[in-house]
Amino acid sequence: MPTKTLEATLAPPTAHKERKLQQLHDLYHEGLHESFEAGADTQSAVNDIVTPYDLPYQVKDALKNYVPSLDDAQELSANHPTRMVNRAASFDYSEGRTHSYVWEVPQPGRGTNFWIPLRINPEQEQLWADLLAGNVLPGQLQLIQNRASWKLHVSVEYSVEDSDYDTDSDDVTHIGLDIGESSLIMGCALRDGSPTRPLVCDGSRAKHLRKEMHTTLQRLQERDAAEWRIDERFDYYQNALTDIVEKASRQAVEYARGFEKPMLVMEDLTYIRESLDCGKFMNRRLHAWAFARLQDRIEDKARDAGIPVEYVNAAYTSQTCHECGHIGYRDSGGEFHCTNDKCRVTTFEGDINGAINIAQRADPWGESVPLKPAGNDSPRDGSACDSTTTHTEQSQPEQMTLSEFGSKPTASD
């Protein structure tokens, strides 16, 4: 069964509850680090280490399941979520409360649990209702500590109607979505193997907000502003970015619904943030952008609409020529250059070239990628480390351009 992640922000807790949440977070991380550093690779070995910890059983059981699968110390960062098994999914609902949904936070010992209100994602209200009604099954819970708030993620299994067409048939419209930092979404559909009607979802607003958020919060801290003032501004920017993600994901699915038998295809970016090495400045910018968050929201909306989603190999999608498969390069302006003299493509809009490559890889024969790139895909300032960068140069007359697709892309805030 497919899964979704329900998202909620904990209402500002009292000082007592804040201390309890912090203690839970700190003890979890202590147990996580001790188990990993001890090389505990079985549930029994982890159990021997975490048993003395004053943690609720829902957290200890999650550690026993999780630690043996760890193979990278990078996963032990300070913002690593506190994991809990599904027996921690105890919620209540009442229309008469300011916050209708509340969560029973597990604590060690009997009679020590406490309730805390939740601000749920309004677009997921039906799934929250289904969870309380038992119509969907809860999975793992993750308690995440942000700088100014706590968030709760609940994985749930749900059923959706299967698409009414064979996704392996030749008449499926594969739609590649390239998720990036400069362009939130660059999409392109393939009909009979030919690209058509590109989608451009601009990322300038999100980029501006992230930069402004970093500068504003830094200045407030330097001026010793009141904590409530800093928290207020942080929440403002986070809500604005969440709104952008919701609108962009909705636009991507509406774009897909405009084609017959659509299938959305996206890159598997599981380890992209760990593998990025574009210099300190660009790493901060790229790590700040939640690639997976946007992909998750696209997938959620696509599944609800009965549109299948597939993930493909992400290697070299920005450097491969969609026409001949030859490895070329992208310049600092984001334009792709094919170095194959026999190819009819000389230069091409780089973002759309990447989206076409992603769509083509939905074909299992399209998964093979060259072992070594030819050319430089990363300018010195790191601005092209992201798979989508802004196109700024004039197209050459002999190259393939967007005009060949028969329509102009649409931009979105």
Structural contact between residues 218 and 234, judged by C-beta atoms closer than 8 angstroms: no
| DSSP-assigned letters across all residues of 231-256 | HHHHHHHHHHHHHHHHHHHHHHHHHH
Using DSSP's 3-state secondary structure scheme, residue 200 falls into strand
Confidence band (pLDDT; 50, 70, 90) for 152?
very high
If one compares 100 and 2, the residue with the highest pLDDT of the two is 100
Distances (CA, A) of 82 to 19, 310, 336: 15, 29, 42
| pLDDT higher than 50, residue 11 | yes
In a 10 Å sphere around its CB, with 0-12 CB exposed, 13-18 middle and 19+ buried, how is residue 389 labelled?
buried
Confidence at 71, pLDDT banded by 50, 70, 90: low
75 or 320, higher pLDDT? 320
- The structural domains of the chain, ordered by start, are 3-157 (no CATH), 173-204+238-362 (3.30.420.10)
Condensed to tens digits (0 to 9), the pLDDT of residues 357-378 reads 899 888 654 444 443 344 433 3
Average pLDDT over residues 224-251: 85
Lowest mean pLDDT among 209-223, 242-256, 271-285, 311-325: 271-285
Structure-model confidence comparison of residues 295 and 275, the more confident one: 295
Least confident of 102-111, 143-152, 289-298, 354-363: 289-298
How confident is residue 211, by pLDDT bands cut at 50, 70 and 90?
confident
Q: Are 389 and 182 in contact (CB under 8 A)?
A: yes
Both tokens of 298, joined, read 């696209």
Rounded to whole angstroms, the Cα distance separating 388 from 182 reads 6
Q: Are 201 and 248 in contact (CB under 8 A)?
A: yes
Distance CA 99, CA 10 (A): 10
Say which range, 58-67, 122-131, 281-290, has the weakest mean pLDDT.
Answer: 281-290
The model's pLDDT over 290-325, given as tens digits with 9 standing for 90+, comes to 567 788 889 888 888 889 998 888 788 888 898 888
Q: At 362, which amino acid appears?
A: A
What whole-number distance in Å separates Cα of residue 49 and Cα of residue 83? Answer: 17
For residues 107-119, average pLDDT: 94
- What is the Cα–Cα distance from 313 to 107, expressed in whole angstroms? 42
Question: How much of the chain exceeds pLDDT 70, in percent?
Answer: 76
In this predicted model, what pLDDT tens digit does every residue of 186-196 receive, in sequence order?
999 988 778 88
What's the confidence (pLDDT) of residue 249? 92
Structure-model confidence comparison of residues 269 and 390, the more confident one: 269
Split at pLDDT 50, 70, 90, the class of 255 is: very high
Q: Which of 161-170, 251-260, 261-270: highest mean pLDDT?
A: 251-260
Q: What's the token pair of residue 83?
A: 């994991």
Q: Strand 262-267 vs strand 173-179: parallel, antiparallel, or unpaired? A: parallel
Q: Mean pLDDT: which of 178-182, 222-226, 238-242 is highest? A: 222-226
* The predicted structure's pLDDT at residue 43: 93
Q: pTM score, two decimals?
A: 0.57
The confidence score (pLDDT) of residue 399 equals: 39
